[in-house]
Amino acid sequence: MQAEVHGECPLCGSHDAAILSRRARDGSPLTTVLCHGCGLGRVEPRPSPAELTAFYRDRYRLDYKGLLRPARYHVLRAARLARERIQRLSDLIAPGDAVLDVGAGGGEFLYLVRAAGCQATGIEPNLGYAGYARDELGLDVLPGFPEDHDFGPRFRLVTLFHVLEHLADPLEGLRRLAGWLLPGGCLVVEVPNFEFACQHPAHRFHRAHLFHFNSATLRRCGERAGLTPVSTAPSEDGGVLTAIFRMDGAAPSPPEPVAGNFERLWKLECERPPIRYWLAPATWRHTAARLLRMTEEHLSARRFPSRRAILDARAGRGTPAGAGRI
């Protein structure tokens, strides 16, 4: 892995990067680099806007879920996660607040936010999932990407759950969304944690993830968009980073390097041989927990008569006899 010159880093402006990988996890060609200036991982070259639009509109859900609309166990999993997110963010929103979820998927988070008394709006590029959220759940989910819409300052909370890494330009995306926040409003971002250890080195890179963040680059991205960082924290298992930013009129930070971040991440990369992954006890604990969770989700989801019934149960609107808790 040698340093080479690539396209400009959207976060710090550097053209100097080191190659992390030349293959996607399916074995197809895909070059992923690590920026020398800030440590942001990115795909080079990135797809064109037209290619991204077509992929997310028509192919993404089929490629990653195998379905045009979510299965019941997908809804159950997403409903549980949505409830956890709402509980974590309870200090940021109140009944009556306007909430926007970008990359709304099947609308589980929006459904529960609406049940809690908020004004819920979503944006979802995939036509199948956006149509399901509108038609079956009655949600206000708009098709497309943030650049296809213009709300102006309107929302108390904007959320991006596993969306930022998919955007063609995450900095420009955050800048646009920051303009839709009311003064004092918050933007919440979840991304995969690039430093997460319990993932096979060859399985981390795939063409849907155009960028790879750690806490330093995620924080800098928000700062450069004119947002004030409130907190950045990993999930319990370390696989996900959640950052909260506030709109308080802060000046955007300049495109400066993130001192020492490349060196630290490169050192971690050099310590990721596959044998170390397979021998780590955490790998097997993580795998076992994931398999048990997936089995339980499939079994539990069958007890509900519909996808909407799963969400109603999570919203406290009654649980079908024999369905149990979700």
pLDDT tens for residues 27-75?
899 999 999 999 999 999 999 888 999 999 888 888 877 778 899 999 9
- Nearest C-alpha neighbor of 258 from the set 78, 60, 13: 13
The string of DSSP letters for 65-116 reads HS-SS--HHHHHHHHHHHHHHHHHTTTT--TT-EEEEES-TTSHHHHHHHHT
pLDDT tens for residues 66-80?
778 899 999 999 999
With residue 18 as reference, give the H or E element that holds it: strand 16-23
Residue 265, token pair as written in the block: 């991440």
Q: From the centroid of its chain, how far is CA 205?
A: 15
Task: Pick left, alpha or beta for residue 324 (phi over 0 → left; psi -120 to 50 → alpha; otherwise beta).
Answer: left
What is residue 4's predicted lDDT score, i.e. its pLDDT? 55
Sign of CA dihedral 83, 89, 93, 98: negative
* Nearest-angstrom CA–CA distance, 203 and 215: 21
- Looking at residue 250, the DSSP 8-state letter turns out to be P
pLDDT of residue 320 exceeding 50, the answer is: no
**Cβ atoms of 262 and 221 closer than 8 Å:** no
Question: What's the whole-model pTM score?
Answer: 0.90
